[in-house]
A and B are shown apart, each in its own frame.
Chain A
Amino acid sequence: MIDPVHSIALGAAMFCIGMLGFLIRRNLIVIFMSIELMLNAVNLNLVSFAHQFQSPHGQVFALFVITVAAAEAATGLAILIALYRVSRAVNADEASAMKW
């Protein structure tokens, strides 16, 4: 039997891994993937609690999150390609024309 504690622990762990990836990794695409991991951790939380409460609210919310994440992926990759065309940069350190 899966306890709600298990699912929220898994969700929190996934979220933390994603956040660490966002803060540590340098490759812009990997950073982007880390954020997707964070979003999926949220989805896991929402769906497991929707199951626990026997209410569809959380499931619908998760669908919204997935849809928005897809739209964001399209926009984000387009921006990445535009940046790559101009500067040949895929690392966060290289995108530093502006400082202070």
Chain B
Amino acid sequence: MNLLSGDLKLVLPEIFISVTAMGILILGTFVRERGRTWLACVTLSALAVTGYYLMTLRSNPFHPAYSSMYAHDGMALVFKMLFIVVGILAVLVSYDFLRTRGIPCAEFFALILFSTVGMMLVASAYDFMLLFVGLELSSLATYILVGLTKKDLWSNEAAIKYFLLSIFASAILLFGISIVYAATGTTNFGEIASRGSDLTTRQPLAAVVALVFLVAAFGFKITAVPFHMYAPDVYQGAPTPVTIFLAVGPKAAAFAGLIRVLGAVHAMSSDWLMLVSALSFLTMTVGNVGAVLQTNVKRMLAYSSIAHAGYALIGVASIAVDDRAGGVFPSSTASVIFYLVAYTIMNVGAFSLLMYMRRDKGFGEDLADFSGLARRRPVVAAAMLIFLLSLAGIPPSIGFLGKFYIFATAVRSGLYWLAVAGVLNAVVSLFYYARIVVYMFMKKQERDVSDVRSFALNLALGASAVATVVLGIFPQTILDVIARATSNIFTGGIIQ
């Protein structure tokens, strides 16, 4: 009997990572803190093996597995690869942090892996049930990660805020799901898409209420304004490696879930164009204005990540109008995914810079701590410059291309006002990104900070800096992969 036949082959990555995570938990009780390097190596190799296996999986054509619970398509595969990369980077940036803070590393690595599994399930969800379980699995692990430094007041406060608001969002999501179920009698995305078409005329109220609840719940998860209030506090209070993971992983997963859900309910109600564009506009603007007011760089980057969610939402709004690829331009879904890849790379880099300076008992995270960094550590400052230029959207960088494709998609879909708002916002964002550059390169050292030297951290920083520039100049390979992957995804009632 071939155990690896059929559907089991498709979920093997999730199973493998879950088993590894449990193994690490057990192993951790035996090797304690001496085996830190071993545990990190096991985690990294498990992720790398899974990534390699994902590359060998074929996604053509769209294939619903496990009684139509689990979607196996190109979009799922691309998102899973992204989550694997996020997991690897999170392990690298946290390695020396865990040692100096005395945080038990087995738990940390296991939680990162569990959260990664949850995000992978979200990317593959083809039924509200799996979507919910995946979202909760990834969030449950991150609640604990945020509160991992138990003696730290900020960490605990961030954890409780994140926990309460996140399960509040889950309750809202569930209520939306229950209304969809009440209206259609199913929780399967494919069936909702096929049955929902006559619902708008039969039960217009149910369709609108369900849509509002679903979009609001995902708004929480992707930190869209006005559901963003927790994000700056949580990102600032959480231990920095966790912030890095939180800012890129679960957010990208929520975007994957949002694209799938909107595709499914599109037939039920296509009103979401207005809803999502309004959210996008608010998110960009409030995120950027909030960032201008900050003097703590970690909090500034938290606001900047809110603003970036707004840019990505422009692409999501364009999906409602037109999701076809035209000429050299990728489809709307592809441009959102490309933006998320860019966002991940540059944010991991920028946030990990916060771990290079040590002051008192914590890290130097204020603007003043960055003063004179270029003289003290020119290479690190240059890397930060690359990330900041990329975040601001200045070529040649992956951040520029990401914004370019998003705005091009918006213009093609006729959402001119959103494109204009996005460009204006990018100008505003230049102000606060440039402020960090000024402090690094043009000011004398103001504060007494000691440097952190860590090989694993350098590795993650170097990799993301190189990727930011190289993919900014030669994006074709990764664009091709994304375009091919999104050519056969399930989009429900949306024109493909």
- A interface list, Cβ under 8 A from B: 4, 8, 11, 15, 18, 22, 28, 31-32, 35, 38-39, 41-42, 45-46, 49, 53, 55, 57-58, 60-61, 64-65, 68, 71-72, 75-76, 78-80, 82-83, 85-87, 95-98, 100
Contact = CB atoms under 8 A, between A and B. Distances in A.
B132, B163, B179, B293 pick with most chain A CB within 10 angstroms: B163
By secondary structure, the A interface counts as: helix
Given A61-B187, A87-B153, A95-B161, 6 more contacts: A35-B168, A39-B174, A49-B182, A58-B178, A60-B129, A79-B163
B363 interface: no
B136, B186, B237, B293 pick with most chain A CB within 10 angstroms: B136
Contact of B171 (A38, A61, A79, A83): A38
B143 interface: yes
Contact of A95 (B157, B168, B187): B157
A83 B175 contact: no
Interface in B111-151: 128-129, 132-133, 136, 140, 143-144, 147, 150-151
By secondary structure, the B interface counts as: helix
Nearest to B144: A75
Contact of B156 (A18, A45, A61, A86): A86
Contact of B178 (A49, A64, A75, A79): A49
A55 B157 contact: no
Contacts of B153: 86-87, 97
Interface of B: 128-129, 132-133, 136, 140, 143-144, 147, 150-154, 156-161, 163-164, 167-168, 170-172, 174-175, 177-179, 181-182, 185-187, 232-233, 236-237, 293
Contacts of A39: 170-171, 174
A75 B236 contact: no
Given A82-B150, A95-B160, A15 B175 contact: yes
A76 B167 contact: yes
Contact of B132 (A68, A79, A85, A96): A68
Contacts of A58: 178, 181, 187
B132 A64 contact: yes
14 contacts: A4-B182, A8-B182, A22-B168, A38-B172, A39-B171, A41-B175, A45-B181, A46-B181, A65-B174, A82-B150, A86-B152, A95-B157, A95-B160, A98-B157
Contacts of A76: 143, 163-164, 167
A49 B233 CA distance: 39
Contact of B164 (A31, A46, A49, A60): A31
Contact of B147 (A31, A61, A79): A79
Shortest beta-carbon contacts, A-B, top 7? A38-B171, A45-B178, A83-B156, A42-B174, A53-B185, A49-B182, A98-B233
A64, A80, A82 pick with most chain B CB within 10 angstroms: A82
